[in-house]
Amino acid sequence: MTNGCGAPAQGGTIESDTTETVLEGKVLNEGTPVGGAFVRLLDSTGEFTAEVVSSPEGDFRFFAAPGTWTVRALHRTGNGQADVSASGPGVHAVEIAVA
C-alpha cells in the first residue's frame, strides 16, 4: 500500500553522511524544549514548503534541498522563527526560540 504524505513522528537520528539535505533542530522556550509546536519550513521567498509537529523533546526535521530556508514555529505559548542556510547534503542544525 502506498503511504500518505502525513508528517512522521519527529526525533531519532540521521547519519551524518546522509545524501539528503537535512535541516533539523529543536524548538525551545527559554532553553526548555517545546513539544507539540507546528514547525513550518518556508523557502527563500517566504513560501510555505512543509510542516511537522515537534516531538515531546522539541525535535523537528526536514528533507530539503540546498538553499536558504526559514523555519517558523507556532505554539499556543508563542511563535518564533530562524533562518538556516544549507550548502549541500548533510545535517544542518537550527534552533527556534518561541516566546
Partner 1 sequence: MSRENVLVSAAWSEENLQTPGVVFAEVDEDTTAYEGGHIPGAVKIDWKNELQDPIRRDFVDREGFEKLLSAKGISNDDQVILYGGNNNWFAAYAYWYFKLYGHTNVKLLDGGRKKWELDGRPLDKEEVTRAATSYQAQEQDLSIRAFRDEVVDAIGNKNLVDVRSPDEFSGKLLAPAHLPQEQAQRGGHIPSAVNVPWSKAANEDGTFKSDEELREIYAEAGFDGSRKTIAYCRIGERSSHTWFALRELLGHEDVKNYDGSWTEYGSLVGVPIELGSGKEA
**Pairwise CA distance, residues 91 & 65, whole Å:** 11
Q: Residue 95 CB, nearest distance to partner 1 (Å)?
A: 18
Question: In angstroms, how far is CA 69 from the centroid of its own chain?
Answer: 10
- At 7, list the grid cell: 508528517
Binding site for partner 1 (CB under 8 A): 1-9, 20, 36, 38, 40-41, 43, 47-53, 61-65, 74-76
Residue corresponding to grid cell 527559554: 30
**Pairwise CA distance, residues 79 & 82, whole Å:** 11
User: With respect to partner 1, which residue has the nearer C-beta, 43 or 95?
Assistant: 43
Q: Residue 40 CB, nearest distance to partner 1 (Å)?
A: 7
Q: Residue 52 CB, nearest distance to partner 1 (Å)?
A: 5
